[in-house]
Structure formats: structure tokens, C-alpha cells
Amino acid sequence: MLDVPLELRCNVCGHDRFTLPTVDAADQDVRCGECLAFKCHADDLEQHMLAAASSLTPQPGKGARRSCAS
Ligand SMILES: [Zn+2]
């Protein structure tokens, strides 16, 4: 599991760090790094982040990180 800060907020505690599953992990859930509340599925994370980014300040150049090895 990777504990990383994201442009998202936990719905439960407002924490902004989340644990991301590794590519080969069986459990592909993104969870709050603080209270471990379920945030979204890893496959949906990019869309969640894009939606959050578009509702906040646009940050050109960010979001190009590749998290999946396809
Ligand atoms: Zn939380």
C-alpha cells in the first residue's frame, strides 16, 4: 500500500492522504490514510481526481502520473 497525498478529501474525516493499492494487490480499493474509509475503486481514482480538480483550481501539468502499468 502507498500512502500519498491526493487532491481529494475523505468523506468521513476530511483527511487528504489516501492509501493506494499496489498494481498486483487483490484489494483495489483506495482508502483514507487516516480512518481507512473507502474512497473509491483504484480504477475510478483518476476520474475522481479529474472531477475534483475541475471543481477546484485547474492545475495544468499535473495528473500525468501513470499509476497503472498497461
Ligand atoms: Zn478519513
Q: What is the pLDDT of residues 6-54, one digit of tens each?
A: 999 999 999 999 999 998 999 999 999 999 999 999 999 999 999 988 8
- 20 CA → ligand 1 middle, Å: 14
Q: Is pTM beyond 0.95 here?
A: no
- 59 CA → ligand 1 middle, Å: 24
70 domain residue, yes or no:
no
Is residue 16 within 8 A of residue 29, CB to CB? The reply is no
61 domain residue, yes or no:
no
Looking at the structure of the chain, the number of domains it has is 1
- 65 CA → ligand 1 middle, Å: 24
50 domain residue, yes or no:
yes
The rounded distance, in Å, linking the Cα atoms of 15 and 34 is 6
How confident is the model at residue 54, as a pLDDT?
87
CA nearest to 30, candidates 14, 60, 22: 22
- pLDDT value at 68 more than 90: no
- 13 CA → ligand 1 middle, Å: 4
8 domain residue, yes or no:
yes
**Domain span at residue 38?**
2-55
Written as one letter, the residue type at 56 is: L
24 domain residue, yes or no:
yes
CA atoms within 13 A on the CB side of 68: 8
14 domain residue, yes or no:
yes
Residue 32's beta-bridge partner residues? 18
